[in-house]
Structure 1
Amino acid sequence: MKIKAFAIMEKNGKAVPFEYERNVGANEVRVKIIYCAMARGDVQFISDHWGDTRFPFVPGHEIVGIVEETGAHVTALKVGDQVGVGYQLEACFECDYCKAGLEQFCPQQKVIAVHSYGGLAGHIVVDYRFAFLLPPGLHPVNAVPLLSAGLTVYTGIMRAQLPPHAVVGVLGVGGLGQLAIQFLHKMGHEVYAFSHSPEKQALIRQLGAEYIPGSGADDKAAVNKPFDFIISTLSVPYDPDVYLKMLRPQGKLCLVASPQQKQPLSLGLLYDYAQRTIYGNYVGSRRDMTAMLDFAATHQIESMVEVMPYSHADQVNEAIDKVSNGKVNVRLILENKA
């Protein structure tokens, strides 16, 4: 069938109406899109931030919709099911990574922006194994950011294997940071959020964290204890040394975003009277996604959102502009009114 969408035709271009042909394979489902996020990552793909965007590019890698058609081999989903779709749309299910349940590292995977078109469209076709039933406890529009941002921070946190009641920090309080605070708080940890935006203090406390202004370098005394874990959601330049010094000797720093510029790092902070760890996290597996959605539903973890329609290109370009210029403090969700 022909799928109507909005695409960016070239680097830093504007969204325009776009159509492409896509039929449903034996292991695939066609999803009518209801909600799609416009996230910072989509804006970075538009500017080809990572150098791997395929143009024409249909943005949108956090999607909620309704199954409209199922392939011949699909039994786990049925027409009418409400599902969420994230960044990854396919895997081979035959390589060592897939057999180990680590489909996100599959060399043959297909992801939005690099291999496939995204969610700013009327429909999307996806391998049914990457269309996830939404637990009934989640509100569909508020659950949209869980499908990528939520999965990324949740998996990064779980990899830390934190002790009970750990002292943890979150760098940045955008879409990723807001979800990280909620997950850590509901897991029972003592959460601090570092932000250069004083106006976010009330929001930070509402989400379950204590506010620390700026880098926290001058305010560590207010915390008066070392951190077990810090997760960085920052995509602007910062000094990693400041946060490594805040960690316990066996503390961990997790990166789920990074600035385009290289950042300086004093390697001695990892081993000088210490066994500190820095690691990154890239989305998560299907098993991680299911666990994250269940945890979010159980603990009522959702994103604060602003909703806009996307029936024509002007609305899409307005949404891109708002995210690009930091005009929204919550996750921007586009609603398909067609």
Structure 2
Amino acid sequence: MKIKAYAIKEKGGKPAPFYYEREIGDNEVSVKIIYCSVARGDVQFISNDWGDTKFPLVPGHEIVGVVEETGANVTALKTGDRVGIGYQQEACFECEFCKAGNEQFCVQQKVICVDCYGGLADHIIVDNRFAFKLPSALYSANAVPLLSSGVTVYSAIERAQLPDRAVVGVLGAGGLGQLAIRFLHKMGHEVYVFSHSLEKKEMINQLGAEFVLSSNADNITAINKQFDFIISTLNVPYDPDTFLRLLKPQGKFCLVASPLNKTPVSLGLLYDYVQRTIYGNYVGSRKNMTDMLNFAAKHHIESEVEVMPFHKMNEAIEKVKAGEVNIRLILENHE
């Protein structure tokens, strides 16, 4: 099958028409792409910020589309099904991690932007086990960010095993942060959001959280709370020690993003009279994805999005690169 896509040929380049051949395997499905996000992560892949981008690069790691063709062994999906596809496209299903239900750690996994082509295209062919049928309660465009950002923060929160009515903090209120706020609020927790953007206060309050202006250290230290859990969605430099001090004994600090440069941490804040934990979270398993989509559908959790036509992909990339968007940009493909 000949697939029309849009690829970046070199670091920092712009997408241009690109064609590649891909046959449908027995366990695979061909999906007509209807919506694809342009996220901060895509821009960082274009800039090769992590050093593992493979060019030509077809970005787009959050996708919603419709199944057009299925392989011989596919029984869980049929033509016409609406599906979501995230960052991971393949796993071996034979290694210790796959057998334990942690396919996201598979040593043979293939992920968009590093091993395979993404959603800036008319179609994508993917293992059917990584194409997830969307609950009918979710709107297609608004559900797109759930496929990577959503599963990342949801699985991070699940790993914390929080008590009822926990006191929790979210660092940053961008795409990841807003979804973390929504999930934590609907789970019944007391949510505080630390952001340097005063203009986000109203939005954060509407999502059910308390706003804390983090550009002033006094605002942080003035909080008379001990936190069970703090999740950081920041990819800009900050001081983790400030927030580790807010955690109660045995409190947990989770990273789902990080600055590109090394970030120092005072290790004594983890063990001195406290037994705190720092952990990172990488996307999620297929079970995490299914659980997250069902939870989102039940509680009407979706992202605020700006939808642009596919042909404005360059404009969308530049807007994200310049930090000119507070909500997720979604490209709609009518071709």
Normalised to the residue count of structure 2, the TM-score between the two structures is: 0.99
Q: Which residue of 2 aligns with 1:179?
A: 179
> Aligned partners of 2:137, 2:169: CA distance in 1, in Å?
28
The one-character-per-residue Cα deviations of 1:133-188 (angstroms, maximum 9, x if unpaired) are 00011111100000000000000000000000000000000000000000000000
Q: Quick check: 1:45–1:113 contact (8 Å CA) kept in 2?
A: yes
The one-character-per-residue Cα deviations of 1:35-90 (angstroms, maximum 9, x if unpaired) are 00000000010011111111000010000000000000001000000000000000
> Aligned partners of 1:33, 1:230: CA distance in 2, in Å?
35
Cα offset for 1:212?
A: 0.1
Q: Which residue of 2 aligns with 1:337?
A: 334
Q: Which residue of 1 aligns with 2:220?
A: 220
Q: Quick check: 2:192–2:211 contact (8 Å CA) kept in 1?
A: yes
> Aligned partners of 2:255, 2:152: CA distance in 1, in Å?
10
Are 1:300 and 2:307 an aligned pair? no
Are 1:328 and 2:325 an aligned pair? yes
Q: Which residue of 1 aligns with 2:282?
A: 282
User: 1:296 and 1:216, CA in 2 relative to 1: closer, same or farther beyond 3 A?
Assistant: farther
Normalised to the residue count of structure 1, the TM-score between the two structures is: 0.98
Q: Secondary structure at the match of 2:217?
A: coil
> Aligned partners of 1:318, 1:29: CA distance in 2, in Å?
31
User: 1:246 and 1:131, CA in 2 relative to 1: closer, same or farther beyond 3 A?
Assistant: same
Cα offset for 1:14?
A: 1.0
Cα offset for 1:223?
A: 2.9
> Aligned partners of 2:185, 2:323: CA distance in 1, in Å?
26
User: 1:222 and 1:242, CA in 2 relative to 1: closer, same or farther beyond 3 A?
Assistant: closer
Are 1:265 and 2:262 an aligned pair? no
> Aligned partners of 1:250, 1:231: CA distance in 2, in Å?
15
Letter of the 1:227 partner, please give it: F
Q: Percent identity?
A: 72
Q: Quick check: 1:194–1:216 contact (8 Å CA) kept in 2?
A: no
> Aligned partners of 2:280, 2:274: CA distance in 1, in Å?
19
Letter of the 1:329 partner, please give it: N
Letter of the 1:334 partner, please give it: L
User: 1:215 and 1:227, CA in 2 relative to 1: closer, same or farther beyond 3 A?
Assistant: farther
> Aligned partners of 1:223, 1:304: CA distance in 2, in Å?
29
Cα offset for 1:216?
A: 6.1
Letter of the 1:192 partner, please give it: Y
RMSD of the TM alignment (CA)?
0.8
Cα offset for 1:217?
A: 3.1
Where does structure 2 lack aligned partners over 5 or more consecutive residues? none
Cα offset for 1:19?
A: 0.7
Where does structure 1 lack aligned partners over 5 or more consecutive residues? none
Structure 1 segment 1-338 matched on structure 2, within 5 A: 1-214=1-214, 217-220=217-220, 222-311=222-311, 315-338=312-335
Structure 1's consecutive aligned runs of 4 or more residues displaced over 4 angstroms after TM superposition are none
Cα offset for 1:25?
A: 0.5
Q: Quick check: 2:214–2:220 contact (8 Å CA) kept in 1?
A: no
Length, aligned pairs only: 335
